[in-house]
Structure 1
Amino acid sequence: MWRVSINAQYLISNDLFFEIHHPLFDAILLKQGAQLIHFQPKGGEPFFWSAKRSTFQKGKAFRGGIPLCWPWFGKIGTPAHGFARIVEWEMAQYVENEEGVQLIFELRDNAFTRSLWDYAFNARLEMNLGHDVELCLHVNAEKESTAALHTYLTCQNIHDVTVMGLGSAYNDALQGGVACETKEPVLHVTHSIDRVYTMPEATTLLCEKDRILSITHKNHSDVVVWNPWREGESSFADMNENDYTQMLCIESARISKPLACEDRLHVKIASL
């Protein structure tokens, strides 16, 4: 029954996604983009938000879970946020044991990627699922690149959320990328936000009344925080009214310091 409701909600056919039901968790992944769109520890709450009006379309981004933005972040190229999230990755390894599941996906340059980014590369996404979620992007490419693990975290009410560990310096995309600094150690989101924090701590905490999510970053240079708010969500066809109150993107990123030709980006997400 649960499987049917997920299929109906996102209009995803069986050949485009797969589910994992483990004693520790339930998860759903899209083959396109090697994208984790659902993770729920047994007895716990889902980690990730997905737009309820999202429908899967081959070659188009799915809003929710952890889309991979690579080999560029933002609108500096076409498509926005790169092509990694709109192409199908090959599953190179699947290992399951009592502690969880490890999956490794691979993507290599081909005629399509060369038409958008004319460089040879071999990208690997390692995913470990158990009590928590770990993702590590490994890149070996002819050219530097930028990336973000564009994590849509779920929350009960954005008005009650506080975020810690971001640091004080950020570039504000809503002001054209201008460099800013805040003296507030804790972020309360009260309006549309699109910031690249350039001196973040190793761990970001999303705090609610009944839950704390820990986002631990490794080999990152930045942390992106995004919420379109009421005025912004109306511009997205796949978002319902007030969806913005139930999500916040906190993204491990390499933007101010691009990924070198051989490099990695890692995140671990856990419920405390």
Structure 2
Amino acid sequence: MSDSSSKPPATGGPGNWSFTRWSTIGQLEALEVHHPLFQATLFLQGAHLTHFAPMDERNWLWLSELARFQPGRAIRGGIPVCWPWFGDPLRNPPEIRKRIASSSAHGFARTALWRLEDVRESAHEVEVSLSLSANDDFQEHWDGHALALITFSFSIRGCQIALTTTNLSKAPLAFSQALHTYLPTDDIQRTRVLGLGNSQYIDTLKDWDYVSQEGPVYFEGEVDRIYETGEALTVVTPSGKRKLTSVGSDSTVVWNPGPGKAQRLSDFPDSAWQKMLCVETANAASDYRVLNEGQSHTLGVFIGRA
């Protein structure tokens, strides 16, 4: 169901958009990009990308068949934006934890309504920018004042995401974050992640102990790790490869719930753990960032062919 007149475009009249249109999916508003070279679906709630694919290809992102598109409910799959904290508040450094007034994991950005700033189109690319002003409206969750600006650039080569945080308060601002990328696979047990060998990681399933990674990352049950590296990674599945190249990141989260936790997750089929994995571009654990007044930091990832 699409209603191109339900919202005014960011700039100019509707005729200025050749490939992008407003759509209502479930109870949420989204932008759908139908370019001759690629397609994408981006929700205003959470600045949440759920679909990207070059034309005639399957979705490069994994989206749960049980995902629900409701106000205030996080979408299971795609690329949730975890901001201005990542993971359990109690597992964040004291500088971040002291600002958090919520027990919820992964911050409030993924269920907040973002504002459309701009849509730029060309014969080869579509760029969409959204913003979230984290001001007094969020004081019940967080003590801070910052601006988050996220830009999605879609092309035949792949999808680039850049999340820029600017500290609008006078005091230093500490925060953690992640682009929580869900990727599909035909078989998790025949899937591996390359590029993390010879790095250390925090194993959150083993009392947050540090472990050394040797060789590729394989999946044989639940995996929840924070790697201390921001190197380019290659995800190898039975049907192909994806390369993830990050900027502004020195930590990578690799996650799969395994069969046990899958049964406890919301909007997640019991067997879906066999068909997905998360490789998250992050500023997590000791890689959290601190901004002085007026300073900015950009966290980004490019997802392309390997």
Q: Do these two structures clear the TM 0.5 threshold for a shared fold by scoring above it?
A: yes
In structure 1, which of residues 167, 174, 187 is the aligned counterpart of residue 205 of structure 2?
174
- Residue 43 (structure 1) shift: 2.6
1:134 corresponds to which residue?
Answer: 160
In structure 1, which of residues 61, 85, 97 is the aligned counterpart of residue 122 of structure 2?
97
1:47 corresponds to which residue?
Answer: 60
After superposition, give the CA deviation of every residue in 1:207-239 in whole Å (9 maximum; x if it has no partner).
123310001111101000000011110001311
Instruction: State the alpha-carbon separation in 1 of the partners of residues 73 and 188 from structure 2.
Output: 27
Q: What TM-score, normalized by structure 1, do the two folds share?
A: 0.91
Instruction: State the alpha-carbon separation in 2 of the partners of residues 134 and 59 from structure 1.
Output: 26
Instruction: State the alpha-carbon separation in 2 of the partners of residues 45 and 91 from structure 1.
Output: 27
- Residue 200 (structure 1) shift: 4.4
What are the residue-to-residue correspondences of 1:29-44 with 2, within 5 Å? 29-44=42-57
Instruction: State the alpha-carbon separation in 1 of the partners of residues 74 and 206 from structure 2.
Output: 25
Instruction: State the alpha-carbon separation in 2 of the partners of residues 139 and 18 from structure 1.
Output: 23
Q: What TM-score, normalized by structure 2, do the two folds share?
A: 0.82
1:241 corresponds to which residue?
Answer: 270
What are the residue-to-residue correspondences of 1:221-236 with 2, within 5 Å? 221-236=250-265
Instruction: State the alpha-carbon separation in 2 of the partners of residues 95 and 83 from structure 1.
Output: 27
Q: SS at the partner of 2:117? A: strand
What are the residue-to-residue correspondences of 1:192-211 with 2, within 5 Å? 192-201=222-231, 203-211=232-240
Instruction: State the alpha-carbon separation in 2 of the partners of residues 263 and 237 from structure 1.
Output: 32
What are the residue-to-residue correspondences of 1:113-132 with 2, within 5 Å? 113-131=138-156, 132=158
2:193 corresponds to which residue?
Answer: 163
Instruction: State the alpha-carbon separation in 2 of the partners of residues 176 and 32 from structure 1.
Output: 34
- Aligned residues: percent identity? 32
- Residue 105 (structure 1) shift: 0.7
Question: What do you get for the CA RMSD once the two structures are aligned?
Answer: 1.8
Instruction: State the alpha-carbon separation in 1 of the partners of residues 266 and 80 from structure 2.
Output: 18
Query: Could you say which structure has the larger radius of gyration?
Result: 2
Q: SS at the partner of 2:205? A: helix
Instruction: Give the count of matched residue pairs.
Output: 262
1:265 aligns with 2:294: no
Instruction: State the alpha-carbon separation in 2 of the partners of residues 85 and 72 from structure 1.
Output: 11
Q: Which amino acid aligns with 2:164?
A: H
- Residue 78 (structure 1) shift: 3.1
Where does structure 2 lack aligned partners over 5 or more consecutive residues? 2-23, 90-101
Moved more, 105-114 or 29-38: 105-114
Where does structure 1 lack aligned partners over 5 or more consecutive residues? 2-9
Instruction: State the alpha-carbon separation in 2 of the partners of residues 267 and 11 from structure 1.
Output: 26
Moved more, 259-268 or 81-90: 259-268
User: 8 Å contact 2:185–2:239 — kept in the other structure?
Assistant: no
